[in-house]
Amino acid sequence: MSDGVDMRGRYDLELVGLTKKYGDTLAVDNINHLFQGGSYVCLLGPSGCGKSSTLRMIAGHEKVTEGAIVLAGSDVSHLIPAKRGTAMMFQNYALFPHLNVRDNVAFSLRMKGEDKATRDARANELLELVDMTGFADRLPAQLSGGQQQRVRLARALITQPKVLLLDEPLSALDPFLRIRMRAELKKLQRELGITFVHVTHGQDEALALGDELVVMNNAMIEQAGSAREVWTAPKTEFVARFMGGHNVIALDGGKVALRADDVKLSDQGLPARVTTIEYQGGHAWIGVDPGRGTHGAQKSSSG
């Protein structure tokens, strides 16, 4: 790799000592991280952890207090958003209601002074990519929520960014459509081969999408790694609790994280009292109290 570009033309994104302050409030605290080019990365954490501020600094919509944002070997921290090589798909950035789908997608090219034939041709390519060709002449009000999201995605991609930034793009969708759209995002990222950085507070969404998860808390990165690594081997109590499916118990003077699906109810092991039983479809959630607080275990509903 040279200058942050690999042999397949994929661009690395690196955060170096990145810090953001709002007055006396520290929103992002000296974080360092390398996003591998061509990967799908999910930034996740509770509200106020700094994930959205980090994304907006990468995009250029928030000024960096300290540190650098390096894309393909160049510090882009001082550049305006349009010059960075990134594009951002906002959570609730409305489409222009008076423009049809094609013109919405092509709007940024219009602002750059591209002629109508060129911008229409490029918009049509993007609409084909997101499976919206048949809706090019419709107005946004004539589209479903999922279709509008595809149009927003095409609009973000028309500038041919090196990195696509997604700010909770699925949060406003119903659960069924959310699952469908995340499959489409994953497929699209693989086809394009560019880096996606996706902010979410949903653990299931991050596990389904992310080649890498970056878990943030209190303005810092708590843990970064593959989805399997973060889920099966949380490095801190916060990560274990936040990712869900783990019990953190005091044992032998320390704390241990146990996956709920690894906890067995038997006549051996620690004594405990069953406190709750919840039927959850394919499995049941059993709350037990071993005298150290209530913990959970999963059991197949068929068992």
In tens digits, what is the pLDDT along the chain, a chain of 303 residues? 446 655 345 689 999 999 999 999 999 999 999 999 999 999 999 999 999 999 999 999 999 999 999 999 999 999 999 999 999 987 666 799 999 999 999 999 999 999 999 999 999 999 999 999 999 999 999 998 889 989 999 999 999 999 999 999 888 788 888 888 899 999 999 999 999 999 998 999 999 999 999 999 999 999 999 999 999 899 999 999 898 766 666 667 667 766 666 677 777 777 778 888 887 777 777 777 776 555 555 555 554
- Asked if residues 135 and 143 have their Cβ atoms less than 8 Å apart, the reply is yes
Q: Would you state the structure tokens that stand for residue 199, as one six-digit string? A: 């902010």
The full set of domains in the chain, from first to last, is: 13-232 (3.40.50.300), 258-300 (no CATH)
> What gap in Å lies between CA 86 and CA 160, rounded to an integer?
8
- Residue whose C-alpha is closest to residue 152's, from 94, 205, 97, 193: 94
pLDDT of residue 165: 97
pLDDT of residue 173: 81
Give whole-number Cα distances, 117 to 106, 109, 153, 159, in Å.
11, 11, 21, 16
pLDDT of residue 15: 98
Residue with tokens 């007055």: 23
Q: Would you state the structure tokens that stand for residue 231, as one six-digit string? A: 């889920």
pLDDT of residue 246: 67
pLDDT of residue 301: 52
pTM for this structure? Answer: 0.84
Helices (H), 137-236: 145-157, 175-192, 203-209, 227-232
For the chain, the farthest-separated pair of C-alpha atoms sits apart, in whole angstroms, at: 76
Give whole-number Cα distances, 258 to 226, 232, 233, 242, 250, in Å.
19, 9, 10, 13, 11
What is the bridge-based pairing of β-strands 195-200 and 25-35? unpaired
Query: Residue 78, SS3?
Result: coil
pLDDT of residue 291: 67
What is the separation of C-alpha 166 from the centre of its chain, rounded to a whole number of angstroms? 7
- Residue whose C-alpha is closest to residue 189's, from 4, 41, 14, 8: 41
Residue with tokens 């594009």: 87
Give me the helix-helix angle, 145-157 and 175-192, nearest 10°: 20
